[in-house]
């Protein structure tokens, strides 16, 4: 756009540029790079920040132009000599116009920050994935556990027709408890046992089906 004279590279209106950039993106097909989307998002954020800030400044200026003065107040006073007046510091109006060089520098800075964030998220996902690989049992281990649990249940069924899940797993640590519970769910799905729970959060009764 700068080469075609559509924007002044020495005096770019960020709000206007954001609109033109998005319009150009809409004219492209879906095969543009992720950088285009990133720059579009950054420009939209810049535009939003500028418009919101300008609205706030405009409201403050209106309030300053029409001050409410209480005429009954005595406004004749002097500051003590040992307490110098401190000028009131006001935030600067947002920079709506910039040069192309400054804008590109800001876009690249934002892009590098985004790349660093993605790398951190990627490294975190890799750690989580590695942890899951070590903690989650493989399919063959699950089948072995299901077979073992079924054999233990069949031994219990010889003594009683209905087994209490709470009593069966009493004293188990959390890992073994979860393993037993998942195995029993698999057995129920395979129609090896029947699970009955009369009320939520109460004991589960296990009955043989084969």
In a domain, 39, yes or no: yes
Instruction: Please give the structure tokens belonging to residue 174.
Output: 């959390």
Whether residue 96 is found in the same domain as residue 21: yes
Q: Are residues 187 and 97 in the same domain?
A: no
Boundary residue ending a domain (113, 132, 151): 132
Number of domains in the chain: 2
pLDDT at 126: 64
More confident residue, 156 or 1: 156
- pLDDT value of residue 63: 55
> For residue 73, what is the DSSP state?
S
Output the pLDDT for position 71: 41
Please tell me the predicted confidence (pLDDT) of residue 5: 85
Indicate if 197 and 97 belong to the same structural domain. Answer: no
* Pair 126, 22 in one domain: yes
Domain match, 97 and 39 both: yes
Boundary (domain end) residue, out of 111, 132, 153: 132
CATH assignment at residue 147: 1.10.10.580
**Do 112 and 177 fall into the same domain?**
no
> Sign of torsion, CA 172 173 176 177?
positive
Residue count of the chain: 210
Domain shared by 125 and 150, yes or no: no
Mean pLDDT of the chain: 76
Structural domain containing residue 204: 139-208
Could you tell me if 19 and 40 lie in one domain?
yes
Give the Cα separation of 74 and 65 in Å (integer): 21
Residues 143 and 118 grouped into a single domain: no
For residue 56, pLDDT beyond 70: yes
Whether residues 113 and 175 share a domain: the answer is no
pLDDT in tens, 129-178: 555 544 544 444 788 889 999 999 999 999 999 999 999 999 988 888 88
Same domain for 109 and 158?
Answer: no
Query: Cα separation of 71 and 158, whole Å?
Result: 98
Model-level pTM? Answer: 0.39
Asked whether the CA dihedral 150, 155, 161, 162 is positive or negative, the reply is negative
Q: Average pLDDT in the 39-45 region?
A: 84
- pLDDT of 143 reads 84
The two tokens of residue 16 are: 């206007």
Position 79 in a domain: no
Residues 150 and 125 in one domain: no
pLDDT band per the 50, 70, 90 thresholds, residue 119? confident
Query: Quick check: helix, strand or coil at residue 56?
Result: helix
pLDDT digits (tens, 9 = 90+) for 62-112: 555 555 544 444 444 444 444 444 444 455 555 778 888 888 888 888 888
Please report which confidence band the pLDDT of residue 208 belongs to, taking 50, 70 and 90 as the band edges.
very high
* 123 in any annotated domain: yes
């Amino acid at each position: 756009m700068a080469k075609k004279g559509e924007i002044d590279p020495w005096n770019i209106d960020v709000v206007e540029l954001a609109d033109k950039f998005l319009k150009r993106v809409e004219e492209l097909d879906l095969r543009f790079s992720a950088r285009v989307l990133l720059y579009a998002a950054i420009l939209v954020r810049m535009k939003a920040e500028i418009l919101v800030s300008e609205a706030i400044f405009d409201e403050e200026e209106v309030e300053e132009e029409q001050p409410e003065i209480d005429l009954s107040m005595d406004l004749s006073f002097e500051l003590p000599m040992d307490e110098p007046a401190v000028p009131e510091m006001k935030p600067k109006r947002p920079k709506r116009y910039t040069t192309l060089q400054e804008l590109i520098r800001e876009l690249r800075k934002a892009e590098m920050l985004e790349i660093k964030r993605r790398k951190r998220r990627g490294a975190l996902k890799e750690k989580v994935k590695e942890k899951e690989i070590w903690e989650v049992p493989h399919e063959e281990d699950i089948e072995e556990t299901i077979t073992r649990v079924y054999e233990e249940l069949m031994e219990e069924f010889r003594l009683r027709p209905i087994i209490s899940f709470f009593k069966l797993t009493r004293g188990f640590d959390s890992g073994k408890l979860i393993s037993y519970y998942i195995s029993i769910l698999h057995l129920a799905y395979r129609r090896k046992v029947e699970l009955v729970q009369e009320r939520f959060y109460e004991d589960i009764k296990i009955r043989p089906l084969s």
